[in-house]
A and B are shown apart, each in its own frame.
Chain A
Amino acid sequence: MAENKFRGFLRDYSWESLILVFNVIAVVVATLLSPLYLNAFQILYSLQQSMGIASILAIGFMMIILVGEIDLSLPALVAVGTVSFARLSVMGLPLGLSILIVLAFTTLAGLLNGYLIVSFSLPSMAVTLGMMGVYRALALWIGGYEGFGVDAFKPSYIYVGDTLWAGFLPVSFVLLVFLFVLAWLLVHKTVYGRLLYATGNNRRATHLTGHSIKSIITSTYGIGGLMAGVGALVYIGQYQSARADNVASILLFVVACIALGGFSLAGGKGRVIGLILSILLLGTIQNGMGLANIQGPVQTLVIGLILIASIVVPAAIGAIGGAASRAKNIAERVSASSK
């Protein structure tokens, strides 16, 4: 009885279990590659540094992916956020007010994306590519060519991204944990989450059951924008810089986290725990690569390969499975007709 439940659990969570196994393997390999690795603080810190902002964006991106859409403009919105924070800091606004303004701004921008896509039935890839340009231009306008350096920021502004509690626990990490808990509750325990999966799997049926597809999809873009703003807050603390070209290459990491996390790029599949595990795995791999002194672009190459593998392998397995069951059908027919 218990064994059946365990088997069922494994089958449901097969992808996540696989990533967990890879996580363990990665830790082992990283330890072998470099003796510096197996240090709790080192792990925590490097994870936070390399994947912190990508994780925040990934939460927003996840919502959009779940309903089967995409938003390429989120990194550009982060840049809008960072330069906005810098300006507001220079203007002397208190942090609380700044946070309200910037988050409202990025959320509205996200909602604008969603509105355009939903109202005009536009392909989200092309539209958000265009909006990416628009937002980058906006960031350039707000921040200027040089952007802002460390002097621009009041201490309160960089608190979130920069501080370590008790000397080792990054505040931003705590924030990240908090966000993941919220995300998990939202996606797996609320009505909204249920509707996200329904929409991602079958828009028509969900609409015919009395839910507004337009609102659901638009709202995911709003969440994406919100997360971009939060990411901006962490960014300025972590890097103490704000330029229009911030996080120019983060999109690949985000998409790789999502794909590796077991999310179907067509929507409707994937779990928050999968995302957490994939972020840990990618972070560990990055950490290990960094300690082994592998060049930046090579690391990016590896991430790209992982992304391809995450997409192609399930499709290949599906195709093989389909072919196998078709072959089985034919075999059954042949044996049936020869009777």
Chain B
Amino acid sequence: MKIACSISGDTPESTIDSRFGRAPRFLIVDTDSGEYRLIENTQNLNAAQGAGLQSAQNVINAGAEAVITGHTGPKAFDLLSSMNVKIYYAESVTAKESIQMYKNGTLKAAQSADVESHW
């Protein structure tokens, strides 16, 4: 299964970026093979609105079935949920550590957005 981690760096050692909509990139990790790739999300950094939706589109089209990020807003959360993409919140850990936490079952799937629009 593929998991998208929001990061501002460009390696699995990069810390999870607390923003979903305006994360500079996503690390797409295949938990079965351990392979990973980066997708750029920079077009959203300066978007006036709708950044979360575009990020959601990017990770869904990259085949992600789960997202690990710091926070999500209402529109991104609804779009991801409607496509059965699970959302996990993590902070102050690297992408690699967060994947391990996911595998250990220490991350709990979020039931709702945790920040307002334009957070």
Q: Report if A and B associate in a common complex.
A: no
Interface, chain A (partner B; CB < 8 A): none
